[in-house]
């Protein structure tokens, strides 16, 4: 791990969803993010050692979809905790876009867990919550057979430095789902309790 990636701070959101259609959910994410620079942004060190944004025109948001239905609930919970801790410890490759990763885990026929992590240098917590809200709106439009409006610019609050968010905003996911545990920003490798 380079010195730069050790300094990378991440935000992580974990949502519990019911009855989600995974490919429609992925399309909702793509409709919100692909029209912005958020999915195309990578970071590289500048001559002064500070991180600089670099755009990768071919980068797209990808949702990893996994099925854990064959595993007992208590094993799923342990596996999820281990996975989230492992993702935080691993960090995000700075030179590859997008500076985020997302996984949709099928826990039962109706229950899903969604885990999304992104670099604080990409956007702050408030902007992340806004992205979650926009995805929920796009998902609802897609379920009704509509075409979601494309995001023309990064969400309000997206910053190069990741300003701290104030207040307690609540994100609403598909079907009115609320975040189960939103893990705040922390240095890569730190474990949230």
Q: Can you tell me the distance from the alpha carbon of 169 to that of 129, in angstroms, rounded to the nearest whole number?
A: 7
Mean pLDDT of all residues in 75-90: 90
pLDDT tens-digit profile of 1-46? Answer: 333 444 467 889 999 999 999 999 999 999 999 878 888 999 888 8
Which burial class, exposed, middle or buried, applies to 5 when counting CB atoms under 10 A from its CB (0-12, 13-18, 19+)?
Answer: middle
Q: Which residues pair with 114 in a beta bridge?
A: 15, 104
Q: Give the closest residue to 25 by CA, choosing from 88, 91, 94, 115.
A: 115
> pLDDT by residue (tens digit) across 92-150?
888 888 899 999 999 999 999 999 999 888 888 999 999 999 999 999 999 999 998 76
Instruction: Report the chain's terminal Cα–Cα distance, integer Å.
Output: 24
- Whether 166 and 129 have beta carbons less than 8 Å apart is answered as no
Give the C-alpha separation, 78 to 41, whole Å.
33
Which is it for strands 41-45 and 51-55: parallel, antiparallel or unpaired? antiparallel
8 Å CB contact between 169 and 126: yes
Q: Which residues contact 58 (CB under 8 A, 6 or more apart)?
A: none
d(CA 98, CA 119): 9
Report yes or no: 43 and 161 within 8 Å, Cβ to Cβ.
no
- pTM, entire model: 0.72
SS3 content of the chain, % helix, strand, coil (to 5): 30, 25, 45
| Residue position matching structure tokens 């806004």 | 130
pLDDT at 20: 94
DSSP 8-state class, residue 154: P
**For 176, which DSSP code?**
G
Most confidently modeled of 10-24, 41-55, 177-191?
A: 10-24
> What tens digit of pLDDT does each residue of 157-174 get?
443 333 222 222 223 333
Does the pLDDT value for residue 187 go beyond 80?
no
- Locate the DSSP E strands across 19-127: 41-45, 51-55, 63-67, 100-106, 111-119
Output the average pLDDT for the chain: 76
């Amino acid at each position: 791990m380079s010195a730069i990636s050790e300094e990378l701070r991440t935000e992580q959101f974990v949502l519990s969803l019911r009855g989600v259609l995974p490919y429609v959910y992925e399309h909702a994410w793509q409709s919100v993010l692909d029209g912005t620079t958020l999915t195309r942004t990578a970071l590289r060190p500048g001559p002064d050692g500070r991180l600089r944004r670099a755009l990768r025109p071919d980068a797209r948001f990808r949702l990893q979809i996994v099925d854990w239905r064959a595993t007992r609930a208590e094993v799923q919970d342990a596996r999820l905790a281990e996975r989230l801790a492992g993702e935080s410890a691993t960090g995000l490759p700075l030179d590859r876009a997008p500076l985020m990763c997302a996984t949709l885990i099928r826990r039962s026929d109706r229950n899903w867990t969604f885990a999304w992590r992104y670099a604080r240098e990409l956007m702050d917590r408030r902007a992340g919550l806004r992205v979650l809200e926009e995805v929920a709106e796009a998902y609802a439009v897609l379920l009704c057979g509509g075409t979601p409006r494309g995001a023309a610019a990064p969400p309000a609050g997206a910053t190069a430095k990741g300003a701290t968010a104030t207040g307690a905003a609540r994100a609403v996911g598909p079907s009115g789902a609320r975040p189960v545990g939103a893990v705040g920003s922390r240095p890569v490798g730190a474990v949230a309790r």
